[in-house]
């Protein structure tokens, strides 16, 4: 039986830097060296050649560890012996174990990345994961807060000794649409409060310039005054390093609880930033740059949620929408003559 317990840990719970640089392997070292070394080589390429984030490398390591352990139970010792049926049966076991379909889909993505790498290197003649379809995922729109909810979160949420820091965190996540890992690792030399710009290092160490609004600038200035003049990180953590990603999640969760809001995460704030930008006229191309999306297709998903919200607002507010959009109590056609 494969061990599927090591899953969905917090982003800061383990560092792939420790994985790459230590002798501790994320897979069963009793495996044949050919599979073991190929997994190692692929993960190192992800980190050092492709610039994948630590969190991505760790997730891939765990996914491939579980797949390799599964192959071992089938006495598969060489990459060339892996077949389509093995990949499909592994996915069935993952779903049968109780994991979400989205988790199974991610594991398939990890496997496909590895087998594609093996094919490119000539270690296998055919790709056993090519053509294997993942489980069908339900269409799920990102949740966006209303402007009123965001205001309440920022005004009411921050309290206590860390009030100044927490307000800066909330203003930055919503005001700039940053990923939580981007905010956690932000350094002061990336921030120009005078010109109101932030140089963000995103996925794959790609940099982008993001403007900073007045409210976020004021919150960051107030926070900076509480720090030592030589502080490197905007949100310092322990041992002279940056704050942990988990800590920022807690900041948002505590603020949401005080404000009486449910299911608010740093990612929800990023979604809200994107949705509100579109609602107020920003183009998809501009939003793509601000969010750091590699593909415009990723950005386009915000169009549907924005269109639905606009339609709802129209039906509720426009005098000629008829009964506030509710046709259940008769149609007053006299309004539309």
Q: What angle do CA 304, 307, 310 make, to 5 degrees?
A: 150
Contacting residues for 286 by C-beta, under 8 A, at least 6 apart: 277
Contacting residues for 208 by C-beta, under 8 A, at least 6 apart: 199, 200, 202, 289, 290, 292
Active site residue 203: yes
Instruction: Please tell me the distance from the alpha carbon of residue 286 to that of residue 145, in angstroms, as a whole number.
Output: 21
Active site residue 270: yes
Catalytic residue among 106, 112, 165, 270: 270
Catalytic residue among 86, 112, 179, 249: 179
Catalytic residue among 77, 246, 267, 301: 267
Task: Specify the long-range contacts of residues 310-318, CB closer than 8 Å, at least 24 apart.
Answer: 310/279
Active site residue 86: no
Contacting residues for 37 by C-beta, under 8 A, at least 6 apart: none
Catalytic residue among 25, 32, 77, 203: 203
Is the alpha carbon torsion for 74, 76, 77, 79 positive or negative? negative
Active site residue 196: no
Q: Looking at the annotation, which residues are catalytic?
A: 179, 203, 267, 270, 293, 302
């Amino acid at each position: 039986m494969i061990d599927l317990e090591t899953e969905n840990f917090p982003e800061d719970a383990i560092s792939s830097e420790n994985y790459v640089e230590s002798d501790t392997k994320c897979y069963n070292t009793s495996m044949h060296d050919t599979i073991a070394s190929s997994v190692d080589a692929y993960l190192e390429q992800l980190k050092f050649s492709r610039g994948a984030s630590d969190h991505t490398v760790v997730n891939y390591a765990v996914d491939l560890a579980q797949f390799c352990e599964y192959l071992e139970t089938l006495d598969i010792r060489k990459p060339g012996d892996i077949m389509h049926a093995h990949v499909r049966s592994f996915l069935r076991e993952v779903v049968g174990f109780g994991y979400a379909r989205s988790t199974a889909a991610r594991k398939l993505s990890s496997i496909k990345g590895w087998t594609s790498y093996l094919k490119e290197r000539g270690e296998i003649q055919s790709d056993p994961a090519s053509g294997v379809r993942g489980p069908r995922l339900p269409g799920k729109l990102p949740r966006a807060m209303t402007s009123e909810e965001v205001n309440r979160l920022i005004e009411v949420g921050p309290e206590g000794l860390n009030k100044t820091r927490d307000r800066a965190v909330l203003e930055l996540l919503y005001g700039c649409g940053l990923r939580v890992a981007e905010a956690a690792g932000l350094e002061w030399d990336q921030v120009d409060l005078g010109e109101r710009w932030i140089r963000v290092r995103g996925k794959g160490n790609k940099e982008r310039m993001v403007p900073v609004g007045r409210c976020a600038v004021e919150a960051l200035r107030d926070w900076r005054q509480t720090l030592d003049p030589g502080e490197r990180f905007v949100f310092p953590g322990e041992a002279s390093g940056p704050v942990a990603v988990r800590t920022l999640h807690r900041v948002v969760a505590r603020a949401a609880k005080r404000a009486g809001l449910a299911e608010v995460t740093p990612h929800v704030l990023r979604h809200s930033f994107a949705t509100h930008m579109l609602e107020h006229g920003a183009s998809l191309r501009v939003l793509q740059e601000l969010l750091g999306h590699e593909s415009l297709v990723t950005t386009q998903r915000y169009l549907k949620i924005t269109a639905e919200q606009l339609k709802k607002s129209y039906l509720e507010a426009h005098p000629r929408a008829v009964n506030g959009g509710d046709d259940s109590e008769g149609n007053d056609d006299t309004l539309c003559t």
